[in-house]
Amino acid sequence: MTVLVTGAAGFIGFSTCLRQLVSGKQVVGIDNLNRYYDTALKDARLAQLAAFPNFTFRKLDIARDDILAAFTASERRSITEVLHFAAQAGVRHSVMMPFEFVDANVRGQVAILEFARRLPALRHIIYASSSSVYGRNTALPFRETDRVDQPGSFYAVSKRSAELTAECYQHLHQLPLTGLRFFTVYGPWGRPDMAYYLFAKAIMEGRPVTLYEGTALARDFTFIDDAVDAICAVTDLPPSGQARILNIGSNVPEPVSRLISLLENFLGRTADIRLTPRPTADVECTWASLEQIQQLIDWHPTTSLEIGLERFSRWFLNHSYG
């Protein structure tokens, strides 16, 4: 029994691989190691995974390479779960480079599902969606049953397209599919393009911290360990019948200003905050309803923002300034 993880050098993919490896599972990781952010961080994550004898890595671009040809018939027969986290990230980046999102997030989703439907022992496909699909919705908290036809960014379009693709493949090929709408996942080994990481870097380097105007600016921050707990628990419960979509969040929208205050405390430095208008691609507040996932599994996020940021800050200082 083998777990295939795409985006294995990425934040969520790496963290999920690590948990699966520690539990003793055979894991094959795929990643194209693109240069959207510094590949040194991706290499460092992969080095952590390579220390496990039950880990195998293949450098593949799921949108361009023939995934089927990269695996022998014997290897394909051993894959029981596909955890698909490979994607082009970045809400604002999608405004400037939309074709990258078509390739990675739309074409890549089709490629993985085409590969997965040819796996004879397949039990479950988990794929990463995003809270961004809720777009310009104003009713809070966001529920999986909400309308998601008013995207606020092309990134959201690409992620909603991936959800619709999954629904179609379930209908056509009866694939056991679960999409996870992640809400601002953060923590050690996180993505350096995300706000909390950029804030920490600016604070340490004495540069201005750009904060969007508005007292209601808040995010449903989800600590990585809590997110991985949910991923692993859901993986063991494949759906029957219809494709499933679940929110993965903390159910606690936190003011972004509080995040900055906590980072100041843990990093031991004061932020030079500069206010700027919020871009149209960014929503004011995110908040995940967890009713559906908690009906399925006994999962409750346990890491407060204070504890999570303390753990991130300790890692960040050791990794970047140690």
- The tokens of 273 are what? 């905050």
Is the domain 2-186+222-251+287-302 a CATH 3.40.50.720 member? yes
Which residue's entry shows tokens 């871009």?
279
Q: Which pLDDT tens digit goes with each residue over 96-118?
A: 899 999 999 999 999 999 999 99
More confident residue, 211 or 166: 166
Express as a percent the part of the chain with pLDDT over 90.
Answer: 88
Q: Which residue has the higher pLDDT, 58 or 282?
A: 58
Residue with the two structure tokens 């629904």: 167
Work out the angle at residue 47's Cα, subtended by the Cα atoms of residues 41 and 50, and round it to the nearest 5 degrees: 145
Mean pLDDT value of segment 297-314 = 97
Q: Average pLDDT over the chain, rounded to whole?
A: 95
- In the 8-state DSSP scheme, what is residue 279? P
Whether the pTM exceeds 0.85: the reply is: yes
Mean pLDDT confidence for 40-47: 97
Of the residues 36, 127, 134, 155, which is catalytic?
Answer: 155
User: Is 321 a catalytic site residue?
Assistant: no
Task: Pick from 212-216, 262-266, 281-285 the range whose average pLDDT is largest.
Answer: 262-266
Give yes or no for residue 272 having a pLDDT over 90: yes
* Per-residue pLDDT at 322: 62
**C-alpha span between 51 and 46 (Å, rounded):** 9
- What are the domain boundaries of the chain? 2-186+222-251+287-302
27: part of which helix (H) or strand (E)?
Answer: strand 26-31
Q: Identify the sign of the CA torsion 79, 86, 167, 229.
A: positive
For residue 42, give every residue at least 6 positions away whose Cβ sits within 8 Å of its Cβ, in sequence order, or none: 9, 10, 31, 33
Amino acid at site 71: F
> What pLDDT digit, counting tens, does each position of 146-168 carry?
999 999 999 999 999 999 999 99
Q: Which of 148-152, 177-181, 213-217, 223-227 has the lowest mean pLDDT?
A: 213-217
**Cα–Cα distance list, 110 to 6, 67, 221 (Å):** 13, 12, 29
Residues β-bridged to residue 248:
182
